[in-house]
Amino acid sequence: MAAFLQWRRFVFFDKEPVKDPGENGKNFALPSGISACDSGRGHIVLGDILTICFLTRSLQLTSFQAYKLRVTHLYQLKQHSILVSVGQDEHGINPLVKVWNTDKRDSGSPLCTRIFPAIPGNKPTEVSCLSVHENLNFMAIGFTDGSVVLTKGDITRDRHSKTLTLHEGNCPVTGLAFRQAGKVTHLFVATLEKVQCYTLSVKEYPRLELDTHGCALRCSALTDPSQDSQFIVAGDDCVYLYQPDERGPCFAFDGHKILAHWHRGYLLLLTRDTKSPNKETSPTEKQILTIYDLDNKFIAYSAAFDDIIDVLAEWGSFYILTRDGNMFMLQEKDTQTKLEMLFKKNLFVMAINLAKSQHLDNDGLSEIFRQYGDHLYIKGDHDGAIQQYIRTIGKLEPSYVIRKFLDAQRIHNLTAYLQALHRQCLANADHTTLLLNCYTKLKDSSKLEEFIKSSESEVHFDVEIAIKVLRQAGYHSHAVFLADKHLHHEWYLKIQLEDLKNYQEALRYIGRLPFEQAETNMKRYGKTLMHHVPESTTVLLKRLCTDYQPSRDPTDRDRCRCANSEEFIPIFANNPRELRAFLEHMIEEEQSPPQGVYDTLLELRLQDWAHEQDPEKGLQEAALLLLRRENTVFDKALVLCQMHNFKEGVLYLYEKGKLYQQIMHYHMQNEEYSKVVEACKTYGDKEVCLWEQALGYFARKEEDCKAYISEVLQHIDQNNLMPPLLVVQTLAHNSTATLSVIKDYLINKLQRESQQIEEDERKIRQYREETAHLRSEIQELRTSAKIFQKTKCSMCNSPLELPSVHFLCGHSFHQHCFESYAESEAECPTCTPENRKVLDMLRAQDQKRDLHDHFNRQLRSSNDGFSVVADYFGRGVFNKLTLITDPPGGKAGPGSLEADLQRDLLIHTKRNV
């Protein structure tokens, strides 16, 4: 009783009498003599003495006669249009069960599909209660003698069902209810003394006794599936709930129970009003109808009525039928109205529970939590308020809560809210910043570590923002942990280098990164690392540029990546020793190192060579070794060698580039006379002008260079490189050179010229004699007959036989020999090779006569221009070309005789003998 008194009472239902729409607002009058009633399938079913009536929502009443004497029990199925009734057609104890199909008609009445007597065995007894399973396969009938008859099979047909006595006892059966859980079917049986449960899905129908006290008639009900379909038994002291295998919770609701119903989460109990006047003074008995919400522990409605027949649930409301013929409707208030009633009384916990039981959406629940939080905040219960605000996360704007708890004294509550915000992955960067600042203000290192070390599935936050805040607050170790865990490499390195000054650890971390990120970070932080840990940095750079394999990711070991070593040269700005080691390593390891690597290493070696007071031979050889590599860029290398005055390198590059004049000029600038002559001897055959330049160089010297001049003149004389006049003019500039220097040269030159003149005159005489002889032969051929006296073939050297072929040149051939060897019918096979040589020479001269560019080029490059000009004079370059043809009228021109002779010599006619 004490528990019951603690339950709060509310008026969540509105009571209204049902009005008759056709009687101008008068109360609707129920049929008299109602003996049974039920509801379902959109109508209320009423049973009076003889008929069954159907009342629709528009209060239209239809009836039909079901029994001849009276109707005692009605059961309307909720999922089928099947109505089961129990009544009597004869006097005496002879109850009949009739099954009606309300969707089918028989002469205007519902179709009765089955009729059978409801007697357990042959014992005549009254029916006390009735229950039908919604699957139409079970029907249970309870009797006043304690028997329960079970009909199994299709209850609408006689053929497909069988009837058996399931239960026998001494106490009347007061309540029956079927419970279906999956494929298991149970039947609860309540009597005045006991509560039992049968398992119908198992053979032999095992029975379990649940309790040793029962209930009165109509004081039991079955909850809906949302309450796990428990069996309710309302006793005078308590209300008990039962599972198929045990007794459940108990509620102390005092009072004599008349009726118990369950509908949509509400328990309806009708009790007798103990305070009502006795029957002697009042013909009617007051009854108290109470509606309980067992989940939320409150009374939703309570009121007194006069002699209630039954309470039915249909069309979303409760309908109360009384003996005086009236019908009242209890209309439940909407959820928002009920919540407002609770809010006015500050019953937020009850409002929350009610909203959940009414399946209010998340937005509605969030609003209740907010109002509850505001209420607690105003009362000063900040801890409780923050718990309610946490339940609004996802619906309520976080700034609404944060502004309330920004006070330093409420920082603990704000921290709790921000933690919950992060756990639900709804925090932004500002929330993360604020939470971390709260941790740092509270100096709560344990909470801070717990937050940053939580998994991403538990807490989601902006890692970069967290790193910034922790770094700014001085929690460098925590910031480093976050950066390492979430692979924020840039932040990790920045904190290690700028804040912790842990250069070795930063270098180790870079060595564990993937190739692209390691390369990028070495370019960014390489100078700093080189300044503090040069040796380790150099080792990592060597690995990065040759065969980099990250130590962090073992799965990437098979792929070898190499960075461009030239890009890292600026890192070694103030570390020449490490730079030299790095470059030498790259030269040795790389097959084709970048050009910048080669050039930088060359410059370093030249600097080492130039800065030594007494340069070692090894330094010079090391520099030359680089110059001899194939990837030497001539211009860059030459500039570097000249800048450092590296003589051997300059001369090597000149020779490699075939700059022979530069080699000699280099010796001239350094006044190395013997080197000048040596250069002329070495490269003079490749570039003959060197001797001329050497002669001019020595001629301009005021020192005594007679020995060198004599050596140069001797080579010029031997190879006829300069005209004598030019030699004399060149030496005229030297005041120290006397005639004795050039005497031998001039004598030798004049002697050779005299010999050449004599030889040329001899050849002229010879050519004149040969020309005169040829002229006489040509004249003889023109004026005299040619007698062929050859007796042998000039080809096979056999005696001639007819037919034969004779040529004016004196050669004779057999006809078959001539045809076999002759290339042309007009040419002698023996003279053809020689004649072709002459023709080719003439043709070549004709072609070269117009090659003026070739002539000018040859004239400029030759030391003896007179010989070139004379040669081209001999070829007729400077003569006007005249084509000799037969003049008109058959007259020959002045040169026609010589032209004809040449044609006859070169083109011979053929005669057949």
pLDDT in tens, 823-847: 777 788 888 887 787 777 777 766 6
Q: Look up tokens 């002699």; give the residue.
A: 307
- Angle formed by the axes of helices 896-906 and 832-848, nearest 10°: 130
* Helix, strand or coil, per DSSP, at residue 194: coil
DSSP string, 15-62: EEEPBPTTTTTPBP-PPSS--EEEEETTEEEEE-SSEEEEE-TT--EE
pLDDT attached to residue 739:
59
Q: How far apart (Å, rounded) are the C-alpha atoms in residues 521 and 527?
A: 11
Q: How many CB atoms lie within 10 A of CB 86?
A: 23
Highest average pLDDT, of 228-232, 389-393, 718-722, 744-748, comes from 228-232
pLDDT digits (tens, 9 = 90+) for 90-114: 888 889 999 999 999 888 889 999 9
Mean pLDDT in residue range 254-269 = 90
What is the per-residue pLDDT for 864? 67
Residue 896 binned pLDDT confidence (cut-offs 50, 70, 90): very low
In this structure, of 254-268, 539-553, 821-835, 843-857, the range with the lowest mean pLDDT score is 843-857
pLDDT exceeds cutoff 70 at 302: yes
Of all residues in the chain, the percent with pLDDT exceeding 90 is 18
Q: In the structure, what pLDDT confidence band is assigned to residue 889 with cuts at 50, 70 and 90?
A: very low
Q: Considering the chain, what is the average pLDDT of its residues?
A: 79
DSSP string, 133-171: -TTSSEEEEEETTS-EEEEEE-TT-STTEEEEEEE--SS
**877 Cβ contact list (under 8 Å, min separation 6):** 848, 849, 855
Distance CA 292, CA 239 (A): 11
Comparing 317 with 123, the larger pLDDT belongs to 317
Position with higher pLDDT, 894 vs 858? 858
Of the candidates 227, 131, 248, 243, which has an alpha carbon nearest to the alpha carbon of residue 184? 243
pLDDT for the residue 880: 52
> Is this structure's pTM higher than 0.85?
no
| pLDDT over 90 at 283, yes or no | no
- Helix (H) / strand (E) element for 442: namely helix 429-442
Segment 475-504 shows an average pLDDT of 83
Using CA atoms, how far residue 70 sits from 49, 74, 90, 300, 595, in Å, is 4, 12, 9, 37, 117
For position 909, what pLDDT does the model report?
36
pLDDT score, position 174 = 94
Q: Which range is most confident: 268-272, 672-676, 683-687? A: 268-272
Better-predicted residue by pLDDT, 358 or 807: 807
Q: Is the pLDDT of residue 257 over 50?
A: yes
Share of the chain above pLDDT 70, in %: 75
The pLDDT assigned to 827 comes to 82
Q: Where are the alpha helices (DSSP H) in 486-616?
A: 489-494, 503-510, 515-532, 534-546, 576-589, 595-611
Task: Quick: pLDDT tens for 175-207.
Answer: 999 999 889 999 999 999 999 999 998 888 999
Rounded Cα gap, residues 475 and 483, in angstroms: 12
Q: Predicted confidence band at 43 (pLDDT cuts at 50, 70, 90)? A: very high
Output the pLDDT for position 289. 93
Q: So what's the pLDDT on residue 187?
A: 95
Nearest to 423 by CA among 382, 449, 384, 394: 394
Instruction: Report d(CA 286, CA 306) in Å as an integer.
Output: 5
Confidence class for position 853, pLDDT limits 50, 70, 90: low
From the number of C-beta atoms within 10 Å of its C-beta (0-12, 13-18, 19+), residue 642 rates as middle
Retrieve residue 346's tokens.
């500050």
Q: Which of 90-104, 482-496, 681-695, 772-786 has the highest mean pLDDT?
A: 90-104
The least confident of 287-291, 343-347, 418-422, 643-647 is 643-647
Average the pLDDT over 278-300 and give the result.
Answer: 75
